[in-house]
Amino acid sequence: MRELVTITNATVDISDPASEQTGDLWLAVAQSLDLSIDKERREVAIDKAKGLVSNGGALQPAVAVLKEWIQSGEMSPSRQKRFAESLKTSGEPFTMKTLHALMTVAQMEAAREEGGKALTKFKTSLSMEADGVTDGPINALVHMYTGKVNSWYLKTLAKGGWFFDGVTRTRNEQYARDDKDLYQEGADLFNERLGTYIKGLDEENQENAHRVYRVIDALLKGFSIEQWDEKSKAFEIDRKVVKNPLTLMIYGSGKKGVAGKIANEMVGVLYGALSEMVQSGENWKNHELFKDNPQLADDLSVLFNTFYNSKKKQNFRKDSLKVGTDFLENPETGVGARCTQHTKDVRKS
């Protein structure tokens, strides 16, 4: 949808492969192929994009099919099949932005073969997005910060592109000096404090926590248990795990809102797996989610039947809801209500 409503039409001269205009278009291609143009230097990002779509590149077969379509005017069933297979075998993530970038590269190649005005008056609707780097949190620090203006504060503002040393630099130049943005720094701090918190729990609650974090590991992208033993409780937490909660907190959400958002995302992943099981008719034990996470079924069984009494500040079990793994044996009956109710309980606790 975004590619349909944010189209920016432009006519550019790409007759010189080394020109700034041609480079700008390739930079837009790089961003659309999910390459980080704000972290990589311009020439590096462009070279990586060209490597993906040129001969030997993972996405070159897909570009070749689109180029055939452009030059012949026909997308036959056999070409459709080849295009789909080329994307699958590429191993690269695919979005509508990816498709737009591949189409643009195919148009550029066709124009280069045609020559003349096809190059000097090349028309494109591929745009490059200039996005703020942790813009919300940085603005909050500027407008709402009440602490001391010290080295930590100035270093943190620099992560968002505000420099006080009198030197003008691009985002990728700053990244070469400090490769952790605000979200990544938050993720690292969260990792450290989470491990410390769990190590401070008694043995029973550590086991309960282990169940919870195994489920989060299975259902929340970007979160994984790296080590769990007597010596250490360590995790691998991606910056994207921190990004949404941090933004929500800045714009007024509380702990319950953040917890509900995370729970909803996890339930969405579980819903997806259950839907696939219903449609395919396969046994839940054979589904990829449960094969990759062999303890997930037991952990879910415990979590779905454990509730938190906020007044007494303790967990309790509802034996009437004890289901073991029968909800997986019959995923089309009652699972949706149970997942939804459990998500509501997370918000209330």
Q: What pLDDT, in 10s, does the model give residues 37-89?
A: 888 889 999 999 999 999 999 999 999 999 999 999 999 999 999 999 999 99
Lowest-pLDDT range of 171-180, 308-317, 324-333: 324-333
Q: Beta-carbon neighbour count of residue 175 at 10 Å?
A: 19
Q: What is the pLDDT of residues 309-326, one digit of tens each?
A: 566 555 555 543 344 455
Residue with tokens 């079924």: 297
- pLDDT at 247 (0 to 100): 81
In this structure, which long-range contacts are made by residues 116-121, counting pairs with CB atoms below 8 Å and at least 24 apart in sequence? Answer: 119/13, 119/14, 119/15, 120/13, 120/15, 121/11, 121/13
- Residue spans of the domains in the chain: they are 2-124, 135-179, 187-348
C-alpha torsion 181→185→186→187, nearest 10 = 100
Whether the CB-CB separation of 48 and 92 falls below 8 Å is answered with: no
Separation between Cα atoms, residue 13 and residue 118, nearest integer Å: 9
- pLDDT at 341 (0 to 100): 58
- pLDDT at 231 (0 to 100): 75
Q: Phi, psi (5° rounding) for residue 12?
A: -130, 160
Q: How many residues does the chain have?
A: 349
In the chain, the amino acid numbered 313 is K
Q: Does 307 score more than 80 pLDDT?
A: no
Distance of CA 130 to the CA centre of its chain: 18
Q: What is the pLDDT of residues 226-263, one digit of tens each?
A: 888 877 788 999 988 988 888 888 877 888 888 888 88
Return the SS3 of 217: helix
Q: What is the pLDDT of residues 284-300, one digit of tens each?
A: 888 899 999 999 888 88
Separation between Cα atoms, residue 91 and residue 330, nearest integer Å: 33
- pLDDT at 314 (0 to 100): 56
How many percent of the chain have pLDDT more than 70?
A: 86
- DSSP per position, 43-111: HHHHHHHHHHHSTTSTTHHHHHHHHHHHHHS---HHHHHHHHHHHHHH-----HHHHHHHHHHHHHHHH
Confidence of residue 264 (pLDDT cuts 50, 70, 90): confident
Distance of CA 203 to the CA centre of its chain: 34
- pLDDT at 313 (0 to 100): 56
